[in-house]
Structure 1
Amino acid sequence: MVVTACSSTGNQKESASTEAPKATASTTAAAQSGKEVKITLLNSKGEIQAQLEEAAKTFKQDNPNIMLEVLPVPAGQSPFERASALYASGNPATITMLDPADVGKFKDRILDLSGEKWVADAVDKSLDTKATDGKVMAFPFSVEGYGFIYSKPVLDKAVGGTFDPGTIKTTNDLESLFKKIEASGVAPLVISPMDWSLGAHYLALAYSAQSSDTAKVAAYIDQLKAGKGDLGNNAVFNGLMNTFDVMTKYNLDKASPLTGVYERGPEVLGKGQAGIWFMGNWAWPNIKGSDTAKAQYGFLPVPVSNNPDDFGNTQITASVSKRLVLDKERSTPEQQAAGKKFLEWMVYEKIGQDFVVNKASIIPAFKSNKLEPQDPLAKSIIDYVARGKTMESVSTLPADHWAKNGASMQKYLAKAGDRTALVKEIEDYWKSVK
């Protein structure tokens, strides 16, 4: 999917599309009225808040009668929770950025976008219609991947030459690398203790790595819901937690593992104070802002065993991570038309495409965008995709999965609970899911 979207060899100086999107009655209604239309976008990607605000200003220059305000999801609140609260107050955003699993929960309140031009330009597997009665009701905003982000200069120094990411295929390989980094005088890694990172990303690997067959992954989650998953004896889960134990041993913040904040990760990685950070390519703008050495970066998979042939040991997760939906319950036809215009702007207008790829460092989900990401993390993801070394993230996790299981992972990280307690809390959580 990502290769299709990003590895085109077409002329980047060309206009993004030889055919501009056709104007319709809905998309031109606001322009014909001459009145300013105000729309809002609820942003659940806090790391690009500034970029989205700048994009809103640029979009207004192209569309003088549309005022776009970007509303951030408050820290500690999921996009589902915030969107639900706004609907409860009778003031939903015109455009809402949701996690993929939450789109179906709003299907009665959002517009059917099946007839939009960009549907035909979306890359393979980026449109999800399973939870929306076969309709396209969400715009695939970003393709993202995650794993261990590494600083090449730090690792080159640690191994005494040119570091080869292909040498890390097992948990033992990873610990050996940590020891070498530590011996070079640098912290091996930093663990960000936010519940969303531990619960939505790290723990989710225990599901994704169950099998390369996504149907088997879904079947295992159904077993957990039925109380039959037996997480405590699951090889993938235990292997992943064995890796986590190694991580905690070499964590820069092991003396106070829960005090770290998101901003600490890119700072210590960018300054060469740590060699590795578990995070995704969405963090590139933050790393770039802290990168004093203009270093090179890439991804390493998170090993789940000591058998290099096991699925998950050489794969990173990559898939559509955020989707945009348009409100139909409270938004006026003019606001809906303006919201559609913004989506078209990102897909077809050259300056909108530049925002997606170069300003927000997002891997686009549309074939019409011929720009190749220049940031090293996006390039690393594209390389994994090209080599067939990716696994899909689980897009059906409940909205409260990261908060509740993230809290359990935080207790385990702080050694306030052992693995038996962690297993019980996670299994009890799944049994409670309706």
Structure 2
Amino acid sequence: MKKSKRIMAIGMMLIFILSTFLLAACTPQQPAPPAGTEPQGEEKEPVTIDIFQFKVEIAKELEEAAKAYMSENQHVTINIQTVGGGDDYGAALRAKIQSGAEPDIFNIGGPQDVEDWKSRLEDLSDQPWVNQALEGVLSGVTVDGKTYALPFAVEGYGFVYNKAIFEAAGIDGSKITDYAGLEAAVKTLDDKIKAGELKEKFPNLVAVFDLPARETWVTGLHASNTALSQEFASSLDAFAAKTVEFKHAEALKNLIDLQANYSPNAKTKAKLNAVDYATQVDEGIAIERVAIIQQGNWIYNGVKSVDEEVANNLDILPMPIKGVKEDSIPLGVPMYWAVNDKGTDAEKAAAKDFLNWLYTSEKGKDYIVNKFFFIPPLKGFENLEPKDSLGQAVKRYAEAGKTMPWVFMGYPTGWGMDVLGVEIQKYLSGEIKWEDVVKNSKAQWEEMRK
């Protein structure tokens, strides 16, 4: 759902994030007034704030959090609109603002988005959560010493897999640490599925993977990041780059082909371009129709709503860049909360207060960890470790130092989804060859950087 001082390598920063999360101390928060009451002696003018956010996985829970906040701040009305999943949030945000219905809180993704939306970003440098931010998580939204957004969370992604299916096939997922191991496991699963050996225990299981090529953020952003994070050390480096070499394009092709060749549409790959997030997640891994999908810890809540037992059986395999970095997962900040500086003083004050409440009050922090299933980007959550299976998996990779940075936030605006993701769709449909994907995408990066 993107120029500041040079920071230490993001990879080292991300390794540090979750250990800091466990050990750092935090200044105690002042208790909030009892629900449904306002501070004595204060009568505040009614104010409405509109939130336009992309994370469909927390839509319901965010609404509940807003209601909890409003019960404590009865002069505030919060309206929330969620656009994400299969929709282009960036395009929807532009349309929203062009319509004149500007949200008070919206989402940005890093250095490129900071540049694109700079005229509407309120300076949040004086907010109390800034001093609680974990090392490095604000680097992509800090320019000339000013911080313009609050990080959502720390997230990791890779190949999410069903441990029960792996165990039934005699495969130990914890031993898979390179491309060869992954490929061997996939072939074993495929053989057993086709032979009907897993049918009795998993009657819905039809293929190893499902690849949602319709979701160009999955292919053009997340998948490509595994290769380009070996070329750029951080999103800031990607943002500053006038060209892209695509040194490890062949390794990316391996990951795309592996998913496509062992999907239900292996013989008709063009059909993968119609596969969306819901098909892959809710109608895929959640019902055990497939054993592995490329996604991250954010899917836990959605899978849990379909089948809690399946959700608790999920873990994450690495996304191996063959011959380069094979035992790691990408780890980073998915999006940031920004406050629109075009709002009135009252709207901006309420927007800031809600975000502070959400990330620093005890009630808000409970929503962050136990309802949103976020890995917090701030100190002060030491007593609220992730309890969900995928959050624990991300934490395990982070603590082991098996991570790679998120650099896609520094891609030219639209390049990942509208250029590379679309080129991959053409490749899957047989319109072009992989070398054309690489050539065309490299040319467009250079053109968009002019």
For the aligned pair, the TM-score class normalised by the smaller chain equals: 0.7 to 0.9
CA shift in 2, pair 1:215/1:196, >3 Å? closer
Select which of 315, 324, 337 maps to 1:324. Answer: 337
The equivalent of 2:7 in structure 1 is none
Query: Is the 8 Å Cα contact of residues 190 and 265 (structure 1) preserved in structure 2?
Result: yes
1:20-419 residue pairs with structure 2 within 5 A? 20=30, 32-73=42-83, 77-100=87-110, 101-128=112-139, 132-159=143-170, 163-170=172-179, 172-185=180-193, 186=205, 187-193=207-213, 194-210=215-231, 213-214=233-234, 218=238, 221-224=241-244, 229=245, 231=246, 234=247, 236-254=248-266, 255=268, 256-266=271-281, 267-291=283-307, 293-294=309-310, 295-305=312-322, 307=323, 310-311=324-325, 313-329=326-342, 331-370=343-382, 371-394=384-407, 395-401=409-415, 402-419=417-434
Cα deviations by residue, 1:348-368 (Å, 9 ceiling, x for unpaired): 212211111111111110111
Cα deviations by residue, 1:332-391 (Å, 9 ceiling, x for unpaired): 111111111111111221221111111111111011123111111111111111001111
CA shift in 2, pair 1:59/1:322, >3 Å? same
CA shift in 2, pair 1:375/1:74, >3 Å? closer
Select which of 416, 422, 434 maps to 2:437. Answer: 422
TM-score, with length taken from structure 2: 0.83
CA shift in 2, pair 1:121/1:21, >3 Å? farther
1:202 positional shift: 0.9
Cα deviations by residue, 1:182-220 (Å, 9 ceiling, x for unpaired): 233242111112111111111222211336x44996499
Cα deviations by residue, 1:93-126 (Å, 9 ceiling, x for unpaired): 1011121231232223221111111111111111
Query: Is the 8 Å Cα contact of residues 21 and 348 (structure 1) preserved in structure 2?
Result: no
| Residue identity opposite 1:208 in structure 2 | S
Q: What is the distance in 1 between the residues matched to 2:431 and 2:443?
A: 18
Question: Runs of at least 4 residues of structure 1 off by over 4 A?
Answer: 74-77
Q: What is the distance in 2 between the residues matched to 1:406 and 1:97?
A: 21
CA shift in 2, pair 1:378/1:398, >3 Å? same
Q: What's the RMSD between the two structures over aligned residues?
A: 2.7
1:125 is paired with a residue whose SS is coil
Q: What is the distance in 2 between the residues matched to 1:270 and 1:208?
A: 29
The equivalent of 1:13 in structure 2 is none
| Residue identity opposite 2:66 in structure 1 | A
CA shift in 2, pair 1:208/1:298, >3 Å? same
| Residue identity opposite 1:182 in structure 2 | D
CA shift in 2, pair 1:22/1:5, >3 Å? farther
CA shift in 2, pair 1:215/1:94, >3 Å? closer
2:292 is paired with a residue whose SS is strand
Q: What is the distance in 1 between the residues matched to 2:235 and 2:348?
A: 36
Worse-matched range after superposition: 83-92 or 42-51: 83-92
| Residue identity opposite 1:132 in structure 2 | V
Query: Is the 8 Å Cα contact of residues 284 and 377 (structure 1) preserved in structure 2?
Result: yes
Cα deviations by residue, 1:237-257 (Å, 9 ceiling, x for unpaired): 111212322221101233322
Query: Is the 8 Å Cα contact of residues 243 and 445 (structure 2) preserved in structure 1?
Result: no
Q: What is the distance in 1 between the residues matched to 2:289 and 2:401?
A: 32
Q: What is the distance in 1 between the residues matched to 2:109 and 2:152?
A: 10
1:223 is paired with a residue whose SS is coil
Q: What is the distance in 2 between the residues matched to 1:355 and 1:238?
A: 42
Worse-matched range after superposition: 346-355 or 73-82: 73-82
Q: What is the distance in 2 between the residues matched to 1:199 and 1:385?
A: 24
1:88 positional shift: 2.7
1:288 is paired with a residue whose SS is helix
Worse-matched range after superposition: 195-204 or 407-416: 407-416
Cα deviations by residue, 1:8-54 (Å, 9 ceiling, x for unpaired): 599xxxxx96232899xxxx99x944332110111111222222122
| Residue identity opposite 2:178 in structure 1 | K
Query: Is the 8 Å Cα contact of residues 195 and 406 (structure 1) preserved in structure 2?
Result: yes
1:364 is paired with a residue whose SS is coil
Q: What is the distance in 2 between the residues matched to 1:74 and 1:123?
A: 26
CA shift in 2, pair 1:271/1:5, >3 Å? farther
Q: Which runs of 5+ in 2 are unaligned?
A: 1-15, 194-204
The equivalent of 2:201 in structure 1 is none
Query: Is the 8 Å Cα contact of residues 129 and 136 (structure 1) preserved in structure 2?
Result: no
CA shift in 2, pair 1:221/1:77, >3 Å? farther
Query: Is the 8 Å Cα contact of residues 210 and 217 (structure 1) preserved in structure 2?
Result: no
1:142 is paired with a residue whose SS is coil
1:258 is paired with a residue whose SS is helix
